[in-house]
A and B are shown apart, each in its own frame.
Chain A
Amino acid sequence: MTAQALEQRDFAVVIGLEVHVQLETATKIFCGCSTDAADDEQPNTRTCPTCLGLPGALPVLNEGAVEAAVKVGKALDADIPEQTRFHRKNYYYPDLPKNFQITQYDAPICQDGTLEFSVEGETREVDIRRAHLEEDPGSIKHVRDGTGNLDSRTVAIDRADYTLVDYNRAGTPLMEIVTQPDFRSPSEVRSFLNKLEEVLEYLGIFDSTRDGSLRIDANLSLVPADEIRDDGSISEEVLEAANRTEVKNISSHKGAEKALTYEASRQRNLVQRGKTVEQETRHFNEAHGSTVSMRTKEEEKDYRYFREADLPPLQVAGWKETIDIPELPDARRERFREEYGLDAESASKLTSTKEVADFYEQVAETFDPDLAATWVADNLLGELNYRDMAIEDIDGRLDEFARLVELVAEDEITTKNAEEVVLRRMLDDEMAPDDVIDEEGLGKADDDAVGTAVEEAIEENPDAVEDYHSGEGGALNFLVGQVMQKTGGSADPGSVNGMLREKLDE
């Protein structure tokens, strides 16, 4: 064991997260501007006096944002207090239209929740200290002076001459979810974030494919390993004593793991060399996989919080009872295993998103759960994955896929054709299953036609028949092939096999 490894063993990593999640409401949190950003959206085309911070404008709270927050509270098993209210957090930055952010301070809408997740096969539980509502700032580009086009002059934050600001995003509802410093490794953080996203998507209030929908600030400190109690907890004093860095600008799970792995080893290196870790904020550079100190002198963070008098308080504790949330992923997985007799792997695949789970249940209720499982989990998801698609991409056509399963269940086409021809053409050419069948002539041959073909095959191939009777296994396959040829491949090989045997054994 090297000295380095020994040194590394003496310290444990302690991580806490502040996760900012954009809520999928139709409008912004304090005004009626849409939250829907078109792909080619021009800057500053989705604003109004309120989200632009014009003099005289006022905020009015979006009911949809409050509903979403209550759903999150319910899903995290958090308390929703009798009264909750908004505060102003005062600081200056070009992306803040008012140079204060309306947020929640000492009376957040959710408190004391938990979230269970699994990491490397083990179940862990993390305490959610609080979750609150706040508004998103605008977005900034850092730009260099010069004559080239804008893209060519867009640079990193520390190389800019000025900023360009777009307030389209300003006012988007955010929920900030704060955990206790319960994480002990970067990979735990990644698993937690995966689980959190899954739950939020299930609630229908979050879209992971949306740019910027998830932003993470992480706090990391090193704590002497022997200060960790048997139950894994750490005392307040020890936590306070450790110098902690805040890492900002993380926008994905992978990014979080990368940033924290880098930061943990950076801190370890310092400690190893006898240096102190400075308590500071660092910026994650995704391209380099490193964290850099924010060069500006760290302004004393005095946010001068005080109540936002333009927004009356909320008394929505009762909403926890009246607002419904869908069955959450873990519970659904359990139920799928019990109700449909699925194994763990299938249950997992089939609950990977709420849409997949909903589709599966629809199909399973109508047809056989096992058949449905094979079709949805293996075939459909498999073909979608291969084409880099997701179930959302075939959103409006789920009834066509249900029809495909029906056709197989009712024996109208062979499984082979269904899998290899119809499904693929449905995805590649966007055709309906019945249309594919007509075009390719895949309708299953009717029984009479098959019966005739069987008889003909036997008549026309006396040598093969003799071989069969003398015990040559290959003869039967040959005959099956003959029948398949006669029926243009539309007979079901399994039943042809059976019919031949019947006739031959008579």
Chain B
Amino acid sequence: MSDTSVDADEVRHVATLARVDLDDDEVEEFTAQFADILTYFDALDEVPEVDTETELVNVMRPDEVHEGLSQEEALSNAAESEDGFFKGPKVS
């Protein structure tokens, strides 16, 4: 028995967190699908608590310089750039 009901508002909220615009049709479709999928996921409530063992530890590299990308290479896939900078949207 689960209390998993996700409504359109929650879908919109999650879409905002994920920075993905959704149109109304998509919101509707996803709301229906999510309910099913999340109900299915509820089965996880039955899982016992188990300790995981860590295997690899302390993987590090020495503090030594390696060659990287040129400015041209770095900017090669930018939609827009200006004077060597990546152009991005404003933040206010």
Contacts and interface: CB of A to CB of B under 8 A. Distances in A.
B84 interface: yes
B88 A163 contact: yes
A46 B62 CA distance: 18
A44 B73 CA distance: 10
Interface string A59-93: 01111111000000000000000010000000011
A485 interface: no
B44 interface: no
A45 B85 contact: no
A150 B59 CA distance: 43
26 contacts: A26-B63, A27-B66, A33-B68, A43-B84, A44-B74, A44-B85, A44-B86, A47-B68, A48-B66, A52-B74, A60-B60, A61-B61, A62-B63, A63-B60, A65-B63, A94-B88, A160-B92, A162-B87, A164-B83, A164-B87, A294-B92, A295-B92, A302-B17, A304-B17, A312-B58, A315-B57
Interface in B18-57: 19, 54-57
Contact of B57 (A62, A92, A141, A312): A312
B91 A140 contact: yes
Given A42-B84, A45-B84, A311-B59, 8 more contacts: A27-B66, A33-B65, A44-B75, A63-B63, A64-B63, A94-B91, A165-B88, A313-B57
A34 B65 contact: yes
A62 B61 contact: yes
Contacts of B64: 26-27, 32
Contacts of A147: none
B58 A44 contact: no
B29 to A, nearest CB: 24
Contacts of A141: 85
Categorize the interface residue count of chain A: 35 or more
B63 A315 contact: no
A316 interface: yes
A129 interface: no
A506 interface: no
Categorize the interface residue count of chain B: 20 to 34
Contacts of B19: 92
A314 B57 CA distance: 6
Among B59, B62, B63, B69, the one with the most A-chain Cβ atoms within 10 Å of its Cβ is B63
A158 interface: yes
Given A44-B84, A150-B83, A163-B90, A63 B71 contact: no
B75 to A, nearest CB: 6
A33 B57 CA distance: 23
A26 B62 CA distance: 10
Contacts of B88: 94, 140, 162-165
B82 interface: yes
A46 B68 contact: yes
Contacts of B66: 27, 31-33, 48
A93 B91 contact: yes
B68 A142 contact: no
Contacts of B60: 60-63, 66
B87 A27 contact: no
